[in-house]
Amino acid sequence: MTMNTPSAATSTGAPPRDRPAPRIERLQIRNLTKQFGGLAALRAFDLDVRGGEFISLLGPSGCGKTTALNCIAGLLEPDGGTIDVDGRSVVGTPPERRRFGMVFQNYALFPHLSVDRNVSFGLEMQRVPKAQMSERVDRVLDLVRLREHREKYPAQLSGGQQQRVAIARAVVTEPRLMLMDEPLSNLDAKLRLEMRTEIRRLHQELGLTTIYVTHDQEEALSLSDRVVLMDQGVIRQVGTPRDVYLEPASAYAANFLGARNLMPVRVTARDADRIEVVTPSGTALTGTSRGTLGPGDDAVAAIRPEHVVVRPQGQNGGNSAPGTVVTVEFLGQGTELGIQTVREELFIARSDDLWHPGDPVDVHLPPERLLVFPDDGGGA
Amino acid sequence: MAKGTHTLESAGAAVARPRRAGRPRAFWIGLLLLAPAVILVLALFFYPFFYGLRLSFDPVTGGRFENYRAFFSDARERATIGNTLRLAVPATVINLAVAIPLAYRMRRRFYGRRVITGLFVIPMTLGTVLIAQGMLSFFGRKGWFNKTLELLHLTDEPLRLVHNRTGVIISLTIAEFPVVFLILLGFVSGIDPNLERAAQMLGANGWQRFRRIMLPLMIPGIATAFALSFVATFAVFPSAVMLGQPAGETRVIAIAAWQAAYERFDYSAASAIAIVMAGIEVLVLAIVLLGRSRLYRGPSSGGKG
């Protein structure tokens, strides 16, 4: 992820040209709702997915992303709303007749069937002729590089291999829509990265229209054409990874996408995008306004650790505060610092320089990086 | 170099020694803790079993195998094996046939599941004699069941449901149903529900999901339930006496053993019959377990479980 100025972020959602033609033109979801025991798990969920697009539903657990996925799959009956594939409603169609593919978090491989039989299961259900079936199974096993494991049973495979079987099993049926429910969260960190690349590769080779559920922002940003950020059953923001990363629409979005420095502030003055705020401890800061804010309003100021500038004390300028390094975490690429200012505010910053706990520093918050949002209760 | 290696080895041994010394002690403590259970099993199972086994080869008259020869050469005695199988196998099969779909339907949590499960389990608390008493008055010639059928003009004469094989099969079915049902319910509830969802997403309808995914995964449970139900029903005694024809078609192997022991006072012959009974049970269990390993591979939970 390269750091660009916010204005450089534009829509790049269209799939590249070299992909095979997607099997659907358009998935259209309107006003989807679902309640569990009086609790709204999903409210007014609207989403348009173009054929071949890779969409992530991103949010913390309990945000309704899996509920939305299960409603699309047909495993859950929505309380209201419409789901149309190419203009035809699928609500009321049982999952087995929707011709959607699904990959589960725990893989859900059939433990009593070999890799071969797991993969061919969907084709058997479709009554695909034997010869054609084995050809298609061969092809998809090559695609996920599991041909030599075809005789094995799921229990004999590693987690990554099992997930590849699960993907192959869903892909081989040529589903109209591919649904993935946190497929990588049971894998260890290294495998997760490998499988992420694998999923991206498969998507590019097969042009499958995909809806991918995850709570991992990195996964969502790296895989998707567009990210749907959810919170408490509601969509908070839809946009390209670049959009949601650089232009969070709310304090909640900023917080979830890695702006770990959030401060409650009060607006003192505003001039177009430029906004003056003051923190509870009295630090006056200049930031960039995001939302309708006026003097006297409560707001939330947010900045990413990598945008906080740390420098030796004495080079004081605007938007700076003197402080002391209290924690140093080595990350490989630079270090992460916890810095306490003299006014008892704690900032988290990334730095490539070598700092030690106790070092006196100046924390500088570049005004164009310090985003000020209306207080939506979801941030700080 | 050689010297260095030597030093390293001896250092390693010195470090390892205290741990090795600790192990036998833990072993003896473990054995000591096992002792009460071991003594109980030895005293209550192995001793009587081997006592009976020895006794069976020590007949009142004749050679070592006289008891077994007598049992298998006497048509009336030999027939008890068939009589018992004709009760135990149908009762077990009926139970499985009812319990498999029922447990499958109840695999998910739903409101009232515990109450329904509790109701199904009640027969377990009754005991065979109470069930037999109830059945005698309910299914008898002048019982409610036949009265109702008569009132509804469904039958011309009372159905004979007691004092024959049917009566015993019904009572064994009632008595063993809870065990079969609970075992299967436990198994089917333990199967990852995502497996069914995965099959559904792959286009499998309700029957195909049951037939292709759930039933194969239930096989270990079915085998276990079959084995337990068969062993219990093969040892039938009170219901065969009270609800059957203990001198005729329900003269089961346990009755033969009882008569040998307490009518002819031939403990040796009775032991031999009991050993034959055990042998048949072991044989059937072996067949069931062999069939299970042929039909089933892998655990019932998906993924890495």
DSSP B298: S
Contact assignment for A108 to B204 by CB distance below 8 Å:
no
Q: Round to the nearest angstrom and report the end-to-end CA distance of chain B.
A: 48
What pLDDT is attached to residue B22? 55
Question: Which of A75, A122, A162 lies nearest to residue B303, judging by beta carbons?
Answer: A162
- Amino acid, res. B79: A
> What is the rounded distance in angstroms from the CA atom of residue A201 to the CA atom of residue A195?
9
> What is the rounded distance in angstroms from the CA atom of residue A46 to the CA atom of residue A59?
16
Mean pLDDT, chain A, as a whole number? 89
Contact assignment for B302 to A102 by CB distance below 8 Å:
no
> What is the rounded distance in angstroms from the CA atom of residue B210 to the CA atom of residue A178?
24
Q: In the predicted model, is pLDDT for residue B212 greater than 90? A: yes
- A312-342 as b/e: b if 16+ CB within 10 A: eeeeeeebbbebebeebeeeeebbbbbbbbe
- Contact between A301 and A254 under an 8 Å Cβ cutoff? The reply is no
Contact assignment for A109 to B303 by CB distance below 8 Å:
yes
Q: In the predicted model, is pLDDT for residue B62 greater than 90? A: no
Residue B193: closest CA among chain A residues belongs to which residue?
A108
- Contact between A92 and B278 under an 8 Å Cβ cutoff? The reply is no
> What is the rounded distance in angstroms from the CA atom of residue A379 to the CA atom of residue A255?
6
Residue B195: closest CA among chain A residues belongs to which residue?
A108
B-proximal residues of A, 115-134, CB under 8 Å: 121-122, 125-126
Structure tokens belonging to residue B132: 């037999």
At residue A75 the predicted structure's pLDDT band, cuts being 50, 70 and 90, is very high
Pick the residue of B187, B192, B194, B201 with the most A CBs within 10 A to test the interface with A by mutation. B201
- Amino acid, res. B284: V
* pTM of the predicted model as reported, rounded to 2 decimal places: 0.81
- The secondary element (H helix, E strand) that includes residue B293 is helix B267-295
Contact assignment for B201 to A102 by CB distance below 8 Å:
yes
Backbone torsions φ then ψ of B278, nearest 5 degrees: -60, -40
At residue B109 the predicted structure's pLDDT band, cuts being 50, 70 and 90, is confident
Interval B130-147 mean pLDDT: 88
Using a CB–CB cutoff of 8 Å, tell me whether B198 touches chain A: yes
Q: In the predicted model, is pLDDT for residue B46 greater than 70? A: yes
Question: Mutual orientation of helices B267-295 and B215-234 as an angle, nearest 10°?
Answer: 180
User: A73-82, A109-118, B139-148, B249-258: which range is least confident on average?
Assistant: B139-148
What pLDDT is attached to residue B8? 41
Higher-scoring residue by pLDDT: A259, B209: B209
The gap from C-alpha A25 to its chain's centroid, in whole angstroms, comes to 23
Interval A353-361 mean pLDDT: 91
Burial of B35 (0-12, 13-18, 19+ CB in 10 A): exposed
At residue B83 the predicted structure's pLDDT band, cuts being 50, 70 and 90, is very high
What pLDDT is attached to residue B157? 82
Give A17-50 pLDDT, tens digit per residue.
556 788 899 999 999 999 998 889 999 999 999 9
- Contact between A69 and A181 under an 8 Å Cβ cutoff? The reply is yes
- B1-33 as b/e: b if 16+ CB within 10 A: eeeeeeeeeeeeeeeeeeeeeeeeeeeeeeeee
Q: In the predicted model, is pLDDT for residue A9 greater than 70? A: no
How close, in Å, is residue A234 to chain B by CA atoms? 26
What pLDDT is attached to residue B23? 65
Contacts of A158 (CB under 8 A, 6+ apart): none
Q: What percentage of chain B carries pLDDT values higher than 70?
A: 89
What pLDDT is attached to residue B7? 41
> What is the rounded distance in angstroms from the CA atom of residue B241 to the CA atom of residue B258?
11
Using a CB–CB cutoff of 8 Å, tell me whether B294 touches chain A: no
- Contact between B78 and B71 under an 8 Å Cβ cutoff? The reply is yes
- Amino acid, res. A101: G
Interval B192-200 mean pLDDT: 95
Contact assignment for B298 to A154 by CB distance below 8 Å:
yes
3-class secondary-structure state, position B34: helix
Residue A159: closest CA among chain B residues belongs to which residue?
B304
- The secondary element (H helix, E strand) that includes residue B82 is helix B75-105
Residues in chain A within 8 Å Cβ distance of B304: 106-107, 159, 162, 186
What pLDDT is attached to residue A375? 87
> What is the rounded distance in angstroms from the CA atom of residue A223 to the CA atom of residue A360?
40
β-pairing verdict for A284-289 and A298-303: unpaired
Among residues B270, B280, B181, which one has the least CA distance to residue B235?
B280
Among residues B100, B88, B78, which one has the least CA distance to residue B284?
B88
Q: In the predicted model, is pLDDT for residue A6 greater than 60? A: no
Q: In the predicted model, is pLDDT for residue A209 greater than 70? A: yes
Question: Which of B194, B195, B204 lies nearest to residue A96, judging by beta carbons?
Answer: B204
What pLDDT is attached to residue A4? 42
Q: In the predicted model, is pLDDT for residue B298 greater than 60? A: no
What pLDDT is attached to residue A152? 94
- SS in 3 state form for B118-147? HHHHHHHHHCHHHHHHHHHHHHCCCCHHHH
Structure tokens belonging to residue B220: 């270990």
ipTM above 0.90, yes or no: no
Using a CB–CB cutoff of 8 Å, tell me whether B217 touches chain A: yes
Using a CB–CB cutoff of 8 Å, tell me whether B195 touches chain A: yes
Structure tokens belonging to residue B93: 């099969």
Among residues A202, A182, A224, which one has the least CA distance to residue A15?
A224
- The secondary element (H helix, E strand) that includes residue B253 is helix B253-262
Contact assignment for A73 to B195 by CB distance below 8 Å:
no
Mean pLDDT, chain B, as a whole number? 87
Residues in chain B within 8 Å Cβ distance of A100: 201
- SS in 3 state form for chain A? CCCCCHHHCCCCCCCCCCCCCCCCCEEEEEEEEEEECCEEEEEEEEEEEECCCEEEEECCCCCCHHHHHHHHHCCCCCCEEEEEECCEECCCCCHHHCCEEEECCCCCCCCCCCHHHHHHHHHHHCCCCHHHHHHHHHHHHHHCCCHHHCCCCHHHCCHHHHHHHHHHHHHCCCCCEEEEECCCCCCCHHHHHHHHHHHHHHHHHHCCCEEEEECCHHHHHHHCCEEEEEECCEEEEEECHHHHHHCCCCHHHHHHCCCCEEEEEEEEEEECCEEEEECCCCCEEEEEECCCCCCCCEEEEEECHHHCEEEECCCCCCCEEEEEEEEEEEEECEEEEEEEECCCCEEEEEECCCCCCCCEEEEECCCCCCEEEECCCCCC
Give B237-246 pLDDT, tens digit per residue.
999 999 999 9
What pLDDT is attached to residue B120? 85
How close, in Å, is residue A211 to chain B by CA atoms? 15
> What is the rounded distance in angstroms from the CA atom of residue A283 to the CA atom of residue A370?
14
Interval B199-213 mean pLDDT: 95
Contact assignment for A110 to B302 by CB distance below 8 Å:
yes
DSSP B156: S
Contact assignment for B199 to A97 by CB distance below 8 Å:
no
Give B257-267 pLDDT, tens digit per residue.
999 999 999 99
Widest distance between CA atoms in chain A: 78
Higher-scoring residue by pLDDT: B11, A245: A245
Interval A254-265 mean pLDDT: 90
CA distances from A218 to A13, A213, A227 (A): 17, 12, 11
Q: In the predicted model, is pLDDT for residue A5 greater than 60? A: no
Q: In the predicted model, is pLDDT for residue A355 greater than 50? A: yes
3-class secondary-structure state, position B112: coil
Q: In the predicted model, is pLDDT for residue A380 greater than 90? A: no
Residues in chain B within 8 Å Cβ distance of A36: none
What pLDDT is attached to residue B57? 94
Residues in chain B within 8 Å Cβ distance of A152: none
Contact assignment for A110 to B205 by CB distance below 8 Å:
no
Higher-scoring residue by pLDDT: B205, B109: B205
Size of interface A-B (CB pairs under 8 A): 94
Q: What percentage of chain A carries pLDDT values higher than 70?
A: 93
What pLDDT is attached to residue A189? 87
Interval B89-108 mean pLDDT: 94
How close, in Å, is residue A155 to chain B by CA atoms? 7
Q: In the predicted model, is pLDDT for residue B304 greater than 60? A: no
At residue B299 the predicted structure's pLDDT band, cuts being 50, 70 and 90, is low
